[in-house]
C-alpha cells in the first residue's frame, strides 16, 4: 500500500483583492516523475504563490486525491525544524520526511501557522470531518488547511527578518528596530 505524505510549504495567498491570482503546484520531493505501484512512499509538497495583487493575508485550501482511503495512507509530513529563539524557523531538510501533526512542525509551514496555532485543526484534518469540512470516504483528503501570512507569522518566513528585530530585512528602517507606519518593504524575489 502506498503512503502519501503531503506538506504545505511557502504558501502565501491573497486576502481581499479581486485581481489576485494564486498558482498552485504539486512537487514530488524525491524527484520522481512517475508514480507506480512499486512506490511505497510518495512525498508531495503542495506549493502556492501569489502572482497578482499586493496584500498578503490569510489563506485556506483542501487537498484530495482520486484514490480512495483504502488505497493508501495520507499523512502530514514534517516541513520545519521548529522555532528557535534568535534563529527563527528553518525548513526541515531531513530525508525522509517524517509524518506527524504538530502545528508549526508538520503540514503547514511554521511561518504560516498563525491560525493553526489558534486551532490545531487548521493544520489539516486527514480523512475526518470537523466544523465546515466534511470528509468524503471515497477520497483521500486533507481538509481545513489554513494559515495567515501576516504580522509575526510573515516575519518568520526564512530570509524575511534574519536579524530578528521584527522589521523585514528589506525595509528602509531595518537596523533601527522601529518600523515606520505604512512603510513599504519590497519582498526579496527568492521569498
- Give tens-digit pLDDT for 62-86: 888 787 888 778 888 888 887 665 5
Q: Which residues contact 107 (CB under 8 A, 6 or more apart)?
A: 6, 7, 8, 76, 77, 79, 101, 116, 123, 124, 142, 145
The residue assigned the cell 518566513 is: 157
What pLDDT does residue 9 have? 47
Is 53 exposed, middle or buried (CB count within 10 Å of its CB: 0-12, 13-18, 19+)?
A: middle
> Which residue positions in the chain have pLDDT lower than 50?
1-2, 9-18
What pLDDT does residue 153 have? 74
Which DSSP category does 117 fall into?
Answer: H
Tell which residue, 75, 65, 82, has the closest CA to residue 98.
Answer: 75
What pLDDT does residue 129 have? 92
What pLDDT does residue 177 have? 56
Dihedral of alpha carbons 157, 42, 13, 116, sign = negative
Give the whole-angstrom CA distance, residue 89 versus residue 83: 5
What pLDDT does residue 109 have? 85
Q: What is the pLDDT of residues 103-125, one digit of tens each?
A: 888 888 888 888 888 888 888 88
What pLDDT does residue 4 have? 53
Instruction: Report cis status (omega within 30 of 0) of the bond before 96.
Output: yes
Amino acid at each position: 500500500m502506498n503512503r502519501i505524505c503531503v506538506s504545505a510549504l511557502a504558501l502565501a495567498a491573497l486576502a481581499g483583492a479581486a485581481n489576485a491570482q494564486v498558482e498552485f503546484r504539486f512537487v514530488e520531493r524525491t524527484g520522481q516523475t512517475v508514480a507506480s505501484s512499486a512506490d511505497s512512499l510518495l512525498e508531495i509538497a503542495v506549493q502556492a504563490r501569489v502572482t497578482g495583487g499586493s496584500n498578503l493575508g490569510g489563506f485556506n485550501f483542501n487537498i484530495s486525491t482520486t484514490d480512495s482511503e483504502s488505497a493508501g495512507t495520507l499523512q502530514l509530513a514534517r516541513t520545519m525544524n521548529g522555532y528557535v529563539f534568535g534563529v527563527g524557523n528553518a525548513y526541515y531538510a531531513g530525508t525522509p520526511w517524517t509524518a506527524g501533526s504538530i502545528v508549526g512542525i508538520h503540514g503547514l509551514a511554521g511561518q504560516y501557522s498563525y491560525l493553526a496555532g489558534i486551532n490545531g485543526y487548521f493544520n489539516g484534518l486527514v480523512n475526518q470531518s470537523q466544523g465546515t469540512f466534511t470528509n468524503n470516504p471515497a477520497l483521500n483528503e486533507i481538509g481545513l488547511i489554513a494559515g495567515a501570512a501576516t504580522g509575526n507569522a510573515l516575519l518568520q518566513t526564512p530570509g524575511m527578518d534574519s536579524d530578528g528585530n521584527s522589521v523585514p530585512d528589506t525595509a528602509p528602517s531595518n537596523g533601527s528596530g522601529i518600523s515606520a507606519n505604512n512603510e513599504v518593504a519590497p519582498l526579496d524575489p527568492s521569498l
